[in-house]
Chain A
């Protein structure tokens, strides 16, 4: 029996690890001005909040950072090599620093419906918008401890990477 990574909540407060479905992410055109209304593209993503909870609770962040989160079946459609080359076990062990796996909220023991977070894409959205959106969602999922801290650490590892111009040759 695998315990759930998530707890079900229904509140307006946003915390780190909150899973917010169908968030609108406006994309600014390359050239824009304030002269007249312009047509802009809005992309819709499922996002997981990465801003620290203490900053959110104390209103220290006007903008909330969040990363896209996908069912792995969706991710595989764009990255078929992940199926062919059995890469999910490497992601599960934390060997892909840009990706992080989280169990399915409803069936944590079923890894075929697990969720994957892409740390390479981070969107900043207004705190007020996300609060309003969270209220409109009603019941939603929030990452539980210690899965939350594990997730946060994975994000930190993504940022703390250091690339070297050269390295010790591989031992063969």
Chain B
């Protein structure tokens, strides 16, 4: 019986170290450097986001061609009865 397997990815993956590395020093200069590096990190993340987790690429449903409203009265008929199933005789 055939089994549906995950396809080998056709594109390469890029992985970033997470979380963002902490500031090297605690001083004002160190904080400035850390903020700058964090900015560069996020810029990189944005520009490379198409390559990250390629296997999770997904799509959205498309809205209907058009919609309209109408008035309807519901008729609750209770629990449905099972349909008759013809049992074939294989003797």
Contacts and interface: CB of A to CB of B under 8 A. Distances in A.
Interface of A: 22, 25-26, 32-34, 36-46, 60, 62, 68, 70, 74-75, 77-79, 81-82, 84-85, 87, 90, 95-99, 118, 120-121, 157, 160-162, 167, 170
B10 A78 contact: no
Contact of B62 (A32, A78, A90): A78
Interface of B: 3-4, 6-7, 9-10, 50, 57, 59-76, 83
B70 A78 contact: no
A43 B64 contact: yes
Nearest to A121: B61
A120 B61 contact: yes
Contacts of A45: 64-65
A170 B36 CA distance: 33
Chain A CB count within 10 A is highest, among B4, B62, B69, B75, for: B62
B69 A74 contact: no
25 contacts: A26-B72, A32-B74, A33-B74, A34-B74, A37-B73, A40-B69, A40-B70, A40-B72, A41-B67, A41-B68, A41-B69, A42-B69, A42-B70, A44-B64, A44-B66, A68-B62, A75-B62, A79-B59, A84-B50, A85-B57, A98-B59, A99-B59, A121-B61, A157-B4, A167-B6
Contacts of B66: 43-44
Contacts of B3: 162
Contact of B4 (A22, A43, A162): A162
Enumerate the 5 nearest inter-chain pairs by beta-carbon distance, A residue then B residue, closest first.
A43-B64, A37-B71, A37-B73, A34-B74, A78-B62
Contact of A118 (B6, B61, B83): B61
A87 B57 contact: yes
Contact of B61 (A34, A39, A78, A160): A78
A33 B73 CA distance: 8
